[in-house]
Structure 1
Amino acid sequence: MTTLALGPEWISPDYLIETFSLPGILLIVFAESGLFAFLPGDSLLFTAGLFVAQGEFISQPLWLVCALIVAAAVLGDQVGYMIGKFFGPRLFSRPNSKLFKQENLEKAHEFMDKYGPKAIVLARFVPIVRTFAPIVAGAGRMQYRTFLTYNVIGGVAWGTGVTLAGYWLGQIEFIRTNVEAILVLIVLVSVVPIGIEYLRERKKKQRAAAAAPATPAPQQQHQPAYPVMDDATTQLRRVDPYDQPQQQYGRQYDQGYGNQQPPQQPYAQQYPQGYGDQPQQYGDQYPYNQGR
């Protein structure tokens, strides 16, 4: 957002209004809403209200000026939504482009994630974000009816609110004689949300960087135990009596399974007392059948 005190003369609000009058205002509002971020927005509408109050450079009545500004703002957001819907993936995949910066797209994306559909209304009052918010909404496939509803609400609130503020304040003598200072104040008030958000992100990164060394990485927690385990394993291997399995098994079993001799006597001869002789024995030991 540029003013006569902070930017080149050819995009200062008073120069644009004096040169192009109301058609120039509508064209800039349309472009700034969904195409070019670095154009005067809030300051332009405020200055338009001042000139309507003074009756200079703008001959149309206030209600018509507000209605046309709202229409230009809504149409500009509609174009931004369509750009995001059809070209969104390409815009986000490119690090930088002439018209769109990846950083601005990411800021608008974070703004949309934080506030949801109502971000379309809130973004109207935040420079740069209001240009890329409809693009992000289109790229994110926000329902068109939802976008249109919030787009109209935001366009009416922003287009009429800032213009009426300039019109009413323009009737005050102090405001008329200090237009440049008032416009600079508008710029500062507009960028306050951006500055606050920047400071929050900076503090968040500093806290994350300060807390990172206190938490060791998972792989570093187990590294000191590996050499000790290796030494202990080596020591166990030295004292383990089964460390040489081939030699031990060779000594214990000199004859293979093929050299073992089968039993010389039948099974009945080795065990002459079979199971048939045992009932008497168990009968003597456990006389359950004897009378009491």
Structure 2
Amino acid sequence: MNDFDWKQLLNPEFYILLEFGGIKIGLYVVLFIVFAETGLLAGFFLPGDSLLFLCGIYSQLLMKELSTGSDFLDVSFLAALVSVMGILGNMVGYWFGKKSGSYLFKREDSFFFKKKYLFQSKDFFDKYGTKAIVFARFLPVVRTFAPVVAGIVEMEKKKFMFYNVLGSILWSFTMIFAGHYLYELFLSQFNIDLKHYIEYIVIGIVLVTTIPVLMKFLKKRN
């Protein structure tokens, strides 16, 4: 613990490689983070897309205790577990939004809650309608508050669940499979181990996923 650096909390690799008492708990931490992003309204500072991409790279390590003996099945099972936690997290976010009504729009800011993100998510929801639940999965910050907004505006539960399931499956399988198979491709074809370039990968994914949100925010200000 003496070597612990708080900056590690912003590094997705830290969670994947986490151990407790000599036992690797990375898989369970990852699943909790995916749930917390929407279910606990704490997702705006947690790694999302980059975490899933790295899960694909480290899938063999994460699935070591649950391995089926098939590489494809292991990666698919990992993506399915992440998808289920994403679905559950969104369901809790939707329920909370429906119960809280307009209360959140009047709530004061705190470390775990920023009202401006809620307004940005509402604008995004107003623009894309029910499909926002799917699109939001690939956007940090918006991903956290979109299901809450859906609950506040009382989006039909069946519609919400359809887009919730669809979005979670697309997000988890796309990001995890991309990480896994790009890692294998670079290693086999170019002899490049992407694990040595984790920082650059994380920065790249963060830029790609946040630029649309930043552009929308700046455009709104102008």
TM-score between both structures, scaled by the size of structure 1: 0.64
Deviation at 1:104, TM superposition (A): 0.9
| Correspondences of 1:179-218 after superposition (within 5 Å) | 179-203=198-222
Deviation at 1:98, TM superposition (A): 4.8
| Correspondences of 1:69-218 after superposition (within 5 Å) | 69-171=82-184, 172-173=186-187, 174=192, 175-203=194-222
Deviation at 1:177, TM superposition (A): 2.9
Identity %: 41
Superimposed CA distance per residue, residues 35-66 of structure 1 (whole angstroms, 9 cap, x where no aligned partner): 212101111101110012xx334414111101
> Contact 1:125–1:190 at 8 Å: present in 2 too?
yes
Deviation at 1:101, TM superposition (A): 1.8
Residues 84 and 128 (structure 1), Cα distance of their counterparts in 2 relative to 1, 3 Å cut: same
Match of 1:42 among 17, 34, 49: 49
Q: CA RMSD for the aligned pairs?
A: 1.5
The aligned residue for residue 15 of structure 1 is 14
CA distance in structure 1 between the partners assigned to 2:141 and 2:90 by the alignment: 13
Match of 1:25 among 22, 25, 30: 30
Could you tell me which runs of 5 or more consecutive residues in structure 1 were left unpaired when the two chains were aligned: 1-6, 204-292
In our comparison, the structure showing a higher alpha carbon Rg is: 1
The aligned residue for residue 56 of structure 1 is 61
Could you tell me which runs of 5 or more consecutive residues in structure 2 were left unpaired when the two chains were aligned: 1-5, 19-24, 68-73
> Contact 1:108–1:129 at 8 Å: present in 2 too?
yes
The list of structure 1 runs, each at least 4 consecutive aligned residues, that deviate by more than 4 angstroms after superposition, is: none
Deviation at 1:96, TM superposition (A): 2.4
The one-letter amino acid of 2:95's match is M
The one-letter amino acid of 1:22's match is L
The one-letter amino acid of 1:146's match is K
Which secondary structure does the structure 1 equivalent of 2:61 belong to? Answer: coil
Which secondary structure does the structure 2 equivalent of 1:170 belong to? Answer: helix
State the aligned residue count.
Answer: 195
> Contact 2:55–2:62 at 8 Å: present in 1 too?
no
CA distance in structure 2 between the partners assigned to 1:185 and 1:146 by the alignment: 33
TM-score between both structures, scaled by the size of structure 2: 0.83
CA distance in structure 1 between the partners assigned to 2:215 and 2:9 by the alignment: 30
> Contact 1:87–1:139 at 8 Å: present in 2 too?
yes
